[in-house]
């Protein structure tokens, strides 16, 4: 494909055209730059000489002069019988004129991010000539490389408000994935609605009560860039929820924990062993249907202030469980800035330790997708400070080459996000992403990061070996995981009041690291912690 481009009329500005041609060359186009201050006759002579597939013209000097210039262009094209795909670039003012002229296939007004231009250059069309947006996760990821997919969640106080927000988010073209956030009544009691507490309708999410509610959300998303749709899994009846979401949303992937949504966290009343069995059955069902699966396990431990070794171990165990249960595409989530106080260096070391262990399991039947997100607990209540934290977190997370960036709106420390705050937050995140894609230092070569990463991998090995000694059947069987929690091999300070967990471990941030500590607050390794734990369990 060949693109010819230049600035027409008396316009001397060239930066926009040159940037566009640079992006086009990177996408494999042959490019021809004919300069600035190009008269219409010279433009058409160049078109006839070069015979390009696409002609890109730029003009920035004013509305009235642009109108006159484009009228001349239209007449001259007709007189010479030239028919080409035309693209326009300019200011908001001149772009509006170009849109009204009807001459151009695509008009850029300067507000677009590089990613949007690249997506246009890659655009595939269907039989109707409309852009064909991939509707499976791996295809969508491939279509946007090197840019990660953008995900955000939405769940407002009413179904109507959520539906309208989904439509606006899709029309914005900024999100590739919209995650629906149902209220807790829905997540826990959708299939047993007689148990719902009406005073809690809309608390924490949208009050979806009917199959048709999910169908409405999907229909609302069929506009703009046709984002992938998905939804939280529910905290009980996970198999029924999985089928519902597959049939109504074409669920992009399922997110199901191993131990959570049970008596462990109080988000359902299921006993822990029963919950682990149910959760693994739902994971296996989705895997068997070819639906990608995220096991949202490790960051739930981190949110209860577990030390880094347990977080790394639970991330690795979750991936091993996914592979054993037949998951073919595994979405590995990395929540940064968690627990609060961890330094960016040690956060990266922890993420890289998890990533290397998880990706060691990859093979022909097991593909790993990397998803990063800011930690909600890291967002300050002050909105300006929260904006800064969001950008900082996304920029740091780009160091592990994510396929998906799960944006968390800057306002979520104090209130749920509407489509307005989500769009603002996504734009901030995209700017951080675009800067990072230009080139980051290789932090994998940093001595402290490398050493701490290796240390965490060795500590994870100690935990895995301890679980091997008490396992029943497979290492990731429900009975084995249950015993690992009950005996305190897997433990977190935030579970100290939970009767089903040991809740005996102490943790602290020391030199930016999330560590297990003894009664005096001194850092201890896993061998020491587990040896002491073994003695306490015997007593």
Q: pLDDT for 94-148, tens place per residue?
A: 999 999 999 999 999 988 888 888 888 887 544 444 567 899 999 999 999 999 9
The predicted pLDDT at position 136 comes to: 97
Sorting pLDDT into bands at 50, 70 and 90, what band is 539?
Answer: low
The predicted pLDDT at position 231 comes to: 97
Please check whether residue 159 is in contact with residue 208, taking contact to mean a CB–CB distance below 8 angstroms.
yes
Average pLDDT, the chain: 94
| Mean pLDDT of the region 354-361 | 98
The predicted pLDDT at position 535 comes to: 75
The predicted pLDDT at position 244 comes to: 97
| Mean pLDDT of the region 448-455 | 97
| Mean pLDDT of the region 217-242 | 95
- Is residue 403, in this structure, part of any structural domain at all? no
- Is residue 82, in this structure, part of any structural domain at all? yes
| Pairing assessment for the beta strands 149-154 and 106-108 based on DSSP bridges | unpaired
- Is residue 53, in this structure, part of any structural domain at all? yes
The predicted pLDDT at position 127 comes to: 44
- Is residue 172, in this structure, part of any structural domain at all? no
Sorting pLDDT into bands at 50, 70 and 90, what band is 160?
Answer: very high
CATH number for the domain that contains residue 87: 3.40.50.280
Reduced to 3 states (helix: H, G, I; strand: E, B; else coil), residue 86 is strand
Which structural domain range is residue 93 located in? 2-121
- Is residue 165, in this structure, part of any structural domain at all? no
Q: How many helices (H) and strands (E) does the chain have?
A: 19, 16
The predicted pLDDT at position 123 comes to: 76
Q: pLDDT for 281-325, tens place per residue?
A: 999 999 999 999 999 999 999 999 999 999 999 999 999 999 999
- Of 104-118, 264-278, 386-400, the least confident: 104-118
- For a pLDDT cut of 90, what percent of the chain falls above it? 85
Judged on CB neighbours under 10 Å (0-12, 13-18, 19+), 83 is exposed
Indicate if the pLDDT at residue 472 is higher than 50.
Answer: yes
Indicate if the pLDDT at residue 185 is higher than 70.
Answer: yes
pTM for the full model?
0.89
| Mean pLDDT of the region 160-179 | 97
Indicate if the pLDDT at residue 408 is higher than 70.
Answer: yes
Question: How far are the Cα atoms of 181, 273, 399 from residue 345, in angstroms, in the given order?
Answer: 32, 36, 11
- Is residue 6, in this structure, part of any structural domain at all? yes
Reference 322, options 291, 348, 353; nearest CA is 291
- Is residue 114, in this structure, part of any structural domain at all? yes
Please check whether residue 58 is in contact with residue 11, taking contact to mean a CB–CB distance below 8 angstroms.
yes
- Is residue 9, in this structure, part of any structural domain at all? yes
DSSP secondary structure letter of residue 376: G
The predicted pLDDT at position 28 comes to: 92
Write the DSSP assignment of 225-290 as a string of letters: T--EEEE---SS-HHHHHHHHHHHH--S-EE--SS-SSTTTTSS---HHHHHHHHHHHHHHHHHTT
**Half-sphere exposure for 495 (CA within 13 Å, toward CB):** 29
Q: pLDDT for 484-531, tens place per residue?
A: 999 999 999 999 877 689 999 999 999 999 999 999 999 999 999 999
User: How many domains, in total, are found in the chain?
Assistant: 1
Strand partners, 329: 367
- For a pLDDT cut of 70, what percent of the chain falls above it? 98
Tokens standing for residue 264? 């462990």
DSSP secondary structure letter of residue 440: -
The predicted pLDDT at position 461 comes to: 98
The predicted pLDDT at position 34 comes to: 92
């Amino acid at each position: 494909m060949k693109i010819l481009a230049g600035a027409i009329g008396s316009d001397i500005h060239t930066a926009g055209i040159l940037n566009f041609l640079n992006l086009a060359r990177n996408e494999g186009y042959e490019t021809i730059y004919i300069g600035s201050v190009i008269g219409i006759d010279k433009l058409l002579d160049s078109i006839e000489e070069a015979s390009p597939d696409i002609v890109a013209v730029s003009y920035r000097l004013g509305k009235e002069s642009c109108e006159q210039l484009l009228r001349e262009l239209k007449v001259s094209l007709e007189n010479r019988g030239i028919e080409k795909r035309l693209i326009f670039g300019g200011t908001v003012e001149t772009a509006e004129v170009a849109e009204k002229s009807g001459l151009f296939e695509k008009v850029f007004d300067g507000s677009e991010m590089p990613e949007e231009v690249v997506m246009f250059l890659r655009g595939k069309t269907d039989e109707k000539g409309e852009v064909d947006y991939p509707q499976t996760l791996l295809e969508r990821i491939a279509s946007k490389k090197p840019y990660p997919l953008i995900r955000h969640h939405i769940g407002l106080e009413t179904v109507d408000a959520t539906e309208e927000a989904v439509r606006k988010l899709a029309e914005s073209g900024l999100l590739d994935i919209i995650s629906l956030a149902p209220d807790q009544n829905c997540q826990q009691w959708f299939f047993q609605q007689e148990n719902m507490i009406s005073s809690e309708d809309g608390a924490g999410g949208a009050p979806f009560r009917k199959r048709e509610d999910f169908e409405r959300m999907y229909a609302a998303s069929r506009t703009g860039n046709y984002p992938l749709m998905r939804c939280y899994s529910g905290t009980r009846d996970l198999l029924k929820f999985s089928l519902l979401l597959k049939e109504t949303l074409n669920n992009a992937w399922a997110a199901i924990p191993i131990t959570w949504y049970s008596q462990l966290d109080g988000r359902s009343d299921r006993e822990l062993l029963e919950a682990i069995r149910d959760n693994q059955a739902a994971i296996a069902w989705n895997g068997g249907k070819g639906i990608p699966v995220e096991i949202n396990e490790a960051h739930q431990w981190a949110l209860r202030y577990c030390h880094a070794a347990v977080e790394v171990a639970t991330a690795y165990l979750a991936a091993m469980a996914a592979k054993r249960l037949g998951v073919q595409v595994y979405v590995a989530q990395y929540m940064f800035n968690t627990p609060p106080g961890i330094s960016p260096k040690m956060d990266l070391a922890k993420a890289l330790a998890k990533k290397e262990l998880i990706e060691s399991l990859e093979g022909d039947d097991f593909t790993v997708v990397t998803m990063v997100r800011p930690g909600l607990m890291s967002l300050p209540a002050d909105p300006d400070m929260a904006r800064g934290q969001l950008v900082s977190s996304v920029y740091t997370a780009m160091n592990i080459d994510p396929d998906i960036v799960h944006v968390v709106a800057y306002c979520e420390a104090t209130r749920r996000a509407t489509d307005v705050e989500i769009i603002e937050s996504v734009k901030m995140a995209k700017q951080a992403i675009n800067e990072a894609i230009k080139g980051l230092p290789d932090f994998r070569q940093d001595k402290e990061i490398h050493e701490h990463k290796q240390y965490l991998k060795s500590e994870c090995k100690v935990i895995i070996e301890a679980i091997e000694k008490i396992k029943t059947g497979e290492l990731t069987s429900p009975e084995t995981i249950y015993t690992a929690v009950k005996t305190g091999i897997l433990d977190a300070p935030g579970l100290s009041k939970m009767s089903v967990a040991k809740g005996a471990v102490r943790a602290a941030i020391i030199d930016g690291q999330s560590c297990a500590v003894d009664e005096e607050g001194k850092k201890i390794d896993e061998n020491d912690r587990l040896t002491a734990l073994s003695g306490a369990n015997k007593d």
